[in-house]
Structure 1
Amino acid sequence: MSEEWRAARVEHIRGLIVSAEPDIVEEAKWRKPSNPDGVPTFSLDGLVCTLETYKDKVKVTFAKGASLPDPTKVFNASLTAGTRRAVDVTENDILDDAAFMNLIRAAVAVNQR
């Protein structure tokens, strides 16, 4: 498995996030020696999500995911966590772009309450 698929996935997901909420702010946080680039975070009136790469997946963790509607079942990780929920995307997964963008919008709406 090459690293290129992860970079392509990250760019696609980043594009979806920005398309869903053009005012969202991306920052790198939690820099440390083992991860000098930090973790990409996306915020609008509070943390919306983080975007991380692992050997076998790209993970988008929604800070308040447990309180978001997910009728199309985009969330597939951290399903029993008290507050957060995540979307793990592997090389061959098909991401429902429209449903993912709806989650981004819903996360921002929760922050703006």
Structure 2
Amino acid sequence: MEIIDSGRFRPAPDGSAHYAEHLSVPALSFGTYSLPAGRTDDQSPHLQDEVYVVTRGRARFTSGGRTVDVGPGSSLFVPAREEHRFHDITEDLVALVFFAPAYSGVPGPAEPA
């Protein structure tokens, strides 16, 4: 068993978004994603399905042509290769991120036209 502190805000040294992986096995990986208030989320689509669970902060999230307000307790599913991002971040944001299969670190291609 491993106990993981997944709720702390951890921006990158330059104050930008930060992803910290905590667990990776072939079928699944898990990490935390921290985004400072006022910053832009510039991630690219991934090759894996993804679930976010917001544990701290407030923002808006756009994926699949839909935009929603998110805050602590919001859960979001993003299918592989779908464009998505957090934006209008009004409070430092922390989200638990689950990838299936495990995150490879390689961005996926955009959805085919």
- Give the TM-score category using the shorter length: 0.3 to 0.5
Compute the TM-score of the two structures, normalised by the length of structure 2.
Answer: 0.33
Compute the TM-score of the two structures, normalised by the length of structure 1.
Answer: 0.33
Q: Which has the higher helix share?
A: 1
Which structure ranks higher in relative contact order (CA pairs < 8 Å, sequence separation ≥ 6)? 2
